[in-house]
Structure 1
């Protein structure tokens, strides 16, 4: 089965917790419109090098990239295109999420080894443990990302090493 590389937007691709005056190196500010009915704009930072790097790693390992973000399908329209990613499959998070993303991600990744970039794995430790227990015997890599820095080069090295070990 093809491995998955799961991407969150807020934190990994957009370092939302970085101070406004200290944009991480390589990131570019993108003003995004929240909806076509709203004039309100959201400003996020994205690193245009991340898209090609992720595509290269996925291609080398024959892995599939997918979104695992509360942005859901908006990630394709507003984030992926800004960093050079094609349309990606999306993990959908229907209804209230009492245990955050673990249930929908588990169903999406059923039987497949995922590497997952996110900044919030510690929000629901019991759900995280249950998720990992259900996946016992199947390679699963949770790669925590600091929302102050986004994805540094070390994370891409970590992903490459994990994919090489499959």
Structure 2
């Protein structure tokens, strides 16, 4: 039987890691951790990633099927999930290299619609725009919620409230 819960596609950088917050001033509740995901190895300094451990229980409590929709891919389960207290999550396998669409649609959009396969989904990302909304409206038969997150502040209480209500069908 197919899982009836809506999917929540989670981007890391922006929603969970407010990478645009001023250096040395992570939002309240966030911890800055040095990470070395693939591609960010010597001679680079470790990548400073800001995460709020309170987000894990909040995400798990929403009642969604959580899926990484990030270029972190499977490495989100190594670097991000443990800090947030999340189990290993499925992840979207992106085409390499990602391509920019001439129509302004984000390179993730078409793939997320394909992965959702008509199932209801919410997507949190810091790069969602009107072309994505229009394209999804035309090409996806299920309900959708697209939540563009400010990459200087990350997910906020209001975002969780909207996700909770939408996930319950309201």
Cα offset, 1:36, TM superposition: 9.0
Q: CA RMSD in A?
A: 1.7
Cα offset, 1:128, TM superposition: 4.0
Q: For 1:5, what is the secondary structure of its paired residue?
A: strand
C-alpha contact (below 8 Å) 1:102/1:128 kept by paired residues:
no
Question: How many equivalent pairs are there?
Answer: 159
For 1:37 and 1:147, locate their aligned partners in 2 and report how far apart those are by CA, in whole Å. 20
Matched, 1:152 2:153: no
Give the alignment of 1:24-103 within 5 angstroms.
24-35=27-38, 38-39=41-42, 40=44, 41-58=46-63, 63-95=64-96, 96-99=98-101, 100-103=107-110
C-alpha contact (below 8 Å) 2:37/2:75 kept by paired residues:
no
Residues 104 and 165 (structure 1), Cα distance of their counterparts in 2 relative to 1, 3 Å cut: same
Cα offset, 1:126, TM superposition: 3.2
- Normalization by structure 2: what TM-score? 0.87
For 2:78 and 2:65, locate their aligned partners in 1 and report how far apart those are by CA, in whole Å. 18
C-alpha contact (below 8 Å) 2:14/2:152 kept by paired residues:
yes
Residues 37 and 110 (structure 1), Cα distance of their counterparts in 2 relative to 1, 3 Å cut: closer
Please, which runs of 5 or more residues in structure 2 have no aligned partner?
Answer: 102-106
Q: For 2:62, what is the secondary structure of its paired residue?
A: helix
C-alpha contact (below 8 Å) 2:15/2:150 kept by paired residues:
yes
- Normalization by structure 1: what TM-score? 0.88
The 4+ residue runs of structure 1 with deviation greater than 2 A are 34-40, 95-99, 125-128
Q: For 1:141, what is the secondary structure of its paired residue?
A: strand
Matched, 1:130 2:135: yes
Q: Name the one with the larger helix percent.
A: 1
Please, which runs of 5 or more residues in structure 1 have no aligned partner?
Answer: none
